[in-house]
Amino acid sequence: MPRFAGSGHCLLQTRGAVRICTSTAARRGPTRGSTGKHDGPRARFFVFGTMSDLIAKAQIDRRLAEVITPVIEDMGFELIRVRYQGGKKPTVQIMADRPEGGIEVDECGEISTAVSATLDVEDPIEDAYTLEVSSPGIDRPLTRLKDFDVWSGYVAKLETTELIDGRRRFKGTLAGTEGDEVLIEIEEGTIGLEFEWLSDAKLVLTDDLIRDVLRARKDAGNIDETQFDEIETILDDEDDPKNPAGRAKED
Identify the pLDDT of residue 224. Answer: 54
pLDDT range class, residue 234, cuts 50, 70, 90: low
pLDDT range class, residue 26, cuts 50, 70, 90: very low
Average pLDDT, the chain: 78
Strands in 129-134's sheet, in edge-to-edge order, are: 8-14, 17-23, 129-134, 91-97, 78-85
Tell me what the mean pLDDT of segment 41-65 comes to: 68
Identify the pLDDT of residue 148. Answer: 98
Q: Which pLDDT tens digit goes with each residue over 183-229?
A: 999 999 999 999 999 999 999 999 999 999 888 877 766 655 555 55
Cβ neighbours around 27 below 10 Å, total: 24
Q: Which domains does the chain have, with CATH numbers?
A: 8-29+55-134 (3.30.300.70)
Tell me what the mean pLDDT of segment 131-136 comes to: 95
Distance separating alpha carbons of residues 151 and 32, to the nearest angstrom: 7
Q: Is the pLDDT confidence value at 248 over 90?
A: no
Identify the pLDDT of residue 232. Answer: 58
